Amino acid sequence: MEHLYIEPSGRTPEVFFNIDDSKLCILGRSFPEDVSAFYLPIEKWLKNNIVECVKCFNMEIQLEYFNTTSSKYLLEMMRIIEDYKKKHDVPVAVHWKYFSNDEDMKESGMEYQQFVSIPFVFEEVRKNV
């Protein structure tokens, strides 16, 4: 399986794949200047490598902020995972983490949940100060 790690910046999230639990993690803030240039390689990686996750696949999202265009790409990645589940009958889930004082981010996850037929796990986390 091809390694994936993208270091975070002030405008882009940290993105990495944890091989041990087949989890694609997207953490931080997402409002890149060129959203397509940032997310298209991740989508390509996902399409090329998800087939090697034969036991399960999870996506963990813990964002403080994301813009509208980033939202489109997050949904597209969820649809890739949804298609994979349908074709291969492999357990998949989106783990949506949100800070305890951020109801808007929790609601965003609940909205995504309505657009795909994969399970969501919601987890409230405390922000490290």
**Domains of the chain, with CATH numbers?**
5-125 (3.30.750)
The pLDDT of residue 127: 75
Q: Is 34 exposed, middle or buried (0-12, 13-18, 19+ CB in 10 A)?
A: exposed
Radius of gyration of the chain (CA): 14
Q: What whole-number distance in Å separates Cα of residue 86 and Cα of residue 27? A: 26
Counting as low any pLDDT under 70, the low residues of the chain are: 129
Q: What is the pLDDT of residues 115-125, one digit of tens each?
A: 999 999 999 99
pTM confidence score = 0.94
The pLDDT of residue 2: 77
Amino acid at 32: P
Extract the tokens encoding 26.
């997207």
The pLDDT of residue 129: 59
